[in-house]
Amino acid sequence: MEASAGFTAGELAARFGCELRGDPAARVTGVCTLQHGREGLLSFLANDSYRRYLADTAASVVVVAPRDAGEVAGTALIHADPYLIYARIAALFAPPRAAVRGVDAHATVAAAATVAPSAYVGPHAVIGAGAVVGERVRIGPGCVLAEGVRIEADSELVARVYLGPGVRLGQRVLLHPGVTVGADGFGQVYDGERWLKVPQLGSVRIEDDVEIGANTTIDRGAVEDTVLETGVKLDNQIQVGHNVHIGAHTVIAGCVGISGSTRIGRRCMIGGGVGIGGHLDIVDGVTITGMTMVTHSLTAPGVYSSGVPVAPNRTWRRNAMRFQHLDELARRLSALERRLTRESPGAGEEESS
């Protein structure tokens, strides 16, 4: 059935493995939020912050976890992971764009470049010598591919993307507007009088099914390549330094900065605004919460935090002043404990008994 005609709740339940409660004939022609639900639309509950909208939503169908099914007045699709099911259903209403092919008259393609017949190169794009553009690749307007770039099948550069010399993209890679991959890394050495630039001789290798958000920058390696493994997802405005290696299926939120030569493991989750120092190792399965500053390697899976939660300014200022005296207070406390121990020599024996 075409998405334009919609789907019944029964069809969706069978297709995505959900338990159905309510009317199997309830028709879904689109998606919505709980608070702005309308007849014929589907919504979901995956965050307790929106629970207050569940009972009164006007959405015809709601995807919920088993514990929430009793609160749905209409038809419910029940699954252990409502957000996952919502994402799969929403994809039915976002079909892929019609395929286009050919090179726009306002694009510039070097004679020594290779562009597959099924690929598309948009206006004002520039493709350098030796570049290879694979089948069904879409190069949007204003993109620049330097010499020796290679892009595998079904990848897309949305607009104004820069790929530096020798950059390699795998299959189904999606780069959003303003992404820069393969600019020089920040390599400088001081000779006693001034800073000298260290040549950046590596490149960048991005494997299959990677998505990179708008205005994110990934530096080329100093000697070896910077690497993003399969399935990595990067948000907007992230800085990835030279020779960084990011493991498969790791996700990183916006405004994260990763210093050079750090290795991040597989299936990690890194929150917004995190800063990660250079030459560190982060093992598989690590979660780092927003605004954390990582200054040493993380050698065990788990959740790590260092950001200070928000507080009323007056309270925060008091705490900030007290923080400056923590070392002094710790010393005074230690001295007091030693004094009490000397004055009460039997205290430790009584406590131990």
Residue 74, both tokens: 């209409």
In the set 79, 242, 249, 325, the catalytic residue is 242
Of residues 313, 310, 229, the one with CA closest to residue 263 = 229
Give the residue among 180, 134, 173, 132 at the shortest CA–CA distance from 156: 173
The encoded tokens of residue 102 equal 């050919």
Long-range contacts of 245-248 (CB under 8 A, 24+ apart): 247/284, 248/207
Residues 259, 225 contacting (CB under 8 angstroms):
no
- The helix (H) or strand (E) run that includes residue 314 is helix 313-323
- Return the closest-CA partner of residue 206 out of 236, 170, 156: 170
**Length reported for the chain:** 353
Which residue has 């976002």 as its token pair?
A: 94
Please report the sign of the dihedral spanned by the C-alpha atoms of residue 189, residue 261, residue 133, residue 210: negative
How far, in Å, are 55, 162, 166, 197 from residue 204 at the CA level? 50, 12, 7, 19
- 289 vs 140: CA distance, rounded Å: 34
- Which amino acid does the sequence have at 170? G
User: Hey, what are 247's tokens?
Assistant: 């493991």
Active site residue 325: no
* Angstrom distance (rounded) from CA 341 to CA 339: 5
Catalytic residues: 242
